[in-house]
Amino acid sequence: MVAIKAPRGVRDILPDESWKWAYVLEVASEVADLFGYREVYLPIFEDTALFARGIGDTTDVVEKEMYTFTDRSGRSLTLRPEATASMVRCYLEHGMQRERQPAKLWCSGPMFRYERPQKGRYRQFWQLDFEAIGVQDPMVDVETVALSLELFRRLGLSNLEVMVNSVGCPRCRPTYREKLKAYLAPHLDELCDSCRARFERNPLRTLDCKEEGCIEITQGAPDVVEHLCEECRSHFDQFLNGLEAIRASYRLNKRLVRGLDYYTKTAFEVTSGKLGAQNAVCGGGRYDHLAEAIGGPFTPGVGFAAGIERVILSMEEEGASFGERPSIDAFVVTAEASARPKAVSFLHELRRNGLRCDMDYAGKGMRGQLKAASSSGARFACILGSEELSRGAVAVKDLSSGEQREFPLERAAEMLKTILQGQAGG
RNA sequence: GUGGACGUAGCUCAACUGGUCAGAGCACUGGACUGUGGCUCCAGGGGCUGGGGGUUCAAGUCCCCUCGUCCACCCCA
């Protein structure tokens, strides 16, 4: 038993799993390239005010889920709960408005939220984050959705549902908000506790409630989409037309209200039918006033984040491929311990030729070394025996067929490389 | 933060109503096979039964606390 264990809600990604992560990140990187998104590496902690102002201080994330601490100089810092605010901060800080717009950026990395852990929900979790900052064109919203769908398509996810909605803007939302409140007011005592609390602070969120009673009440509530201002209405129509144009199947979900304050106009979420309660595999939308909230000039933007843990869980549930699991080409074996220096130099030679290989360092006998070769998954065992060495040769055994041949020691690396490349090529 | 289930070797799990119950399989190590793996057989290492307290002649088994996991709520990725 180890004395100190990993804190609650965080976990180690072990080798049996890490190669799957590498695959997802590789595919994400390819798709980013394909869509013209450039990668950035952002800090994992930021000034607390960035999130408090950017995300909104009445949101659950800011109110009760942040890992906030004071550093030695007394500054309040917070482990990022999401990446969008950081991305916009990065854009503003580096004056990217001077470049061609929109700035299309992506990043990946861990996010932190203090929540009760659950399947697909951790306190440290990884996201892929894609943001297009600087323009209001609804076609960018379409491209954002298209990017997420292409990413999931390449990852082999099929059991997905895309939900879209528009949450309006600071011009039309207040009007709608009042209409909604007026509608809800007479039913106030029938709503659940949390919805009563939402009524004042964020009435739109009552639409998102899963309580039977609340769902029933909100059934007849005024419709967000019906109350959009002309600009939002037009934006939403163009967005939906764009989705039709790329033949994306989506579902209009009038109850889709994102939990972060900065969303305007487009909101969307992709859910996986293969997950449990935490089934959102990606979520995002437009945030035209986020930059202003954090002290910058008006800077529209749209983007989304995908949860890597959930993507991988869904892929496993759907039996999707993670590409080829890394393995070894050759395992070097010595018959006598005296040949070990020779083995080390041979191993080095193989590696210089690009062959993935290994040898035993645990002092096993020849039999044990071959067992190790076998369980390592190596294609070949290269056996350095005194007889072979005396003729300047190495015995190369194909571990799947059992066939064994002798190669001249100084040409073995090259010959093995040729054999392996020949197979890779066809 | 709320509710429920659970916590025995690295992993998957046994141990009737508290009484040789601390075990098996897999994995690991070694051997049968003194220079040839995968199969088989044999042997071995490894657990203060998550931690702490209590009840009892006796607790893995009952009670309390705590930590953690899982599921759901909440919320979201």
A122: confidence class by pLDDT, cuts 50, 70, 90: very high
Distance spanning both ends of chain A, measured CA to CA: 48
Choose the final residue of a domain: A269, A293, A318: A318
Is position A219 within any domain?
A: no
Determine if strand B comes within 7 Å of the CB of A5: yes
Is position A371 within any domain?
A: yes
Is residue A366 domain-shared with residue A265, that is, in the same domain?
no
Is position A209 within any domain?
A: no
Q: What are A12-68's pLDDT values in tens digits?
A: 898 888 999 999 999 999 999 999 999 999 999 999 999 999 988 878 888 789 999
pLDDT of A424 reads 62
Inter-residue long-range contacts of A353-357, CB under 8 Å, 24+ positions, other chains counted: A353/A413, A353/A414, A353/A416, A353/A417, A354/A417, A355/A329, A355/A330, A355/A413, A355/A416, A355/A417, A355/A420, A356/A326, A356/A327, A356/A328, A356/A329, A356/A330, A357/A328, A357/A329, A357/A330, A357/A331, A357/A332, A357/A382
Q: Which tokens in the block code for residue A396?
A: 């190369």
pLDDT of A281 reads 95
What CATH number does residue A336 fall under? 3.40.50.800
pLDDT of A209 reads 75
A197: confidence class by pLDDT, cuts 50, 70, 90: confident
Average pLDDT over residues A222-235: 91
Is position A186 within any domain?
A: no
A205: confidence class by pLDDT, cuts 50, 70, 90: confident
Contact at 8 Å (CB) between A188 and A199?
yes
DSSP A329: S
CB atoms within 10 A of CB A79: 20
Determine if strand B comes within 7 Å of the CB of A122: yes
pLDDT at A218 over 90: no
Amino acid at A375: S
Is residue A344 domain-shared with residue A286, that is, in the same domain?
no
Determine if strand B comes within 7 Å of the CB of A372: yes
Is position A269 within any domain?
A: yes
Determine if strand B comes within 7 Å of the CB of A402: yes
Is residue A270 domain-shared with residue A355, that is, in the same domain?
no
Distance A62 CA to B55 C1' (A): 47
What CATH number does residue A124 fall under? 3.30.930.10
Is position A134 within any domain?
A: yes
Q: What value of ipTM does the predicted structure carry?
A: 0.88
Choose the final residue of a domain: A318, A339, A354: A318
Is residue A313 domain-shared with residue A369, that is, in the same domain?
no
Q: Please compute, for residue A126, the number of CA atoms within 13 A of its CA located in the half-sphere on the CB side.
A: 19
Provide residues 247-306 of A with CB closer than 7 Å to any strand B atom: 257-260, 269, 276-284, 305-306
Is residue A263 domain-shared with residue A155, that is, in the same domain?
yes
- Alpha-carbon distance of A422 to A409, in angstroms, equals 20
Q: Which domain holds residue A405?
A: 330-425
Is residue A314 domain-shared with residue A339, that is, in the same domain?
no
Is residue A340 domain-shared with residue A417, that is, in the same domain?
yes
Choose the final residue of a domain: A262, A285, A318: A318
Work out how many domains chain A is built from and give that number.
2
Is residue A287 domain-shared with residue A341, that is, in the same domain?
no
Determine if strand B comes within 7 Å of the CB of A121: yes
A426: confidence class by pLDDT, cuts 50, 70, 90: very low
Is position A191 within any domain?
A: no
A1: confidence class by pLDDT, cuts 50, 70, 90: very low
Which of the nucleotides in strand B have any atom less than 7 Å away from a protein CB atom? Answer: 1-3, 10, 27-31, 33-38, 47-48, 50, 67-77
pLDDT of A213 reads 75
- Alpha-carbon distance of A264 to A278, in angstroms, equals 24
Judged by C1' against the alpha carbon of A362, the nearest nucleotide is B29
Judged by C1' against the alpha carbon of A400, the nearest nucleotide is B38
Determine if strand B comes within 7 Å of the CB of A366: yes
Determine if strand B comes within 7 Å of the CB of A15: no
Q: What are A61-91's pLDDT values in tens digits?
A: 887 899 999 999 999 999 999 999 999 999 9
% of chain A surpassing 90 pLDDT: 68
Provide residues 159-178 of A with CB closer than 7 Å to any strand B atom: none
Is position A251 within any domain?
A: yes
Alpha-carbon distances, residue A186 vs A169, A176, A205 (angstroms)? 26, 17, 17
Is residue A246 domain-shared with residue A337, that is, in the same domain?
no
Is residue A282 domain-shared with residue A354, that is, in the same domain?
no
Distance A365 CA to B31 C1' (A): 12
pLDDT of A130 reads 98
Is residue A234 domain-shared with residue A334, that is, in the same domain?
no
Average pLDDT over residues A259-277: 86
Query: For A164-176, what is the HEC assignment?
Result: EEECCCCCCHHHH
Is residue A269 domain-shared with residue A408, that is, in the same domain?
no
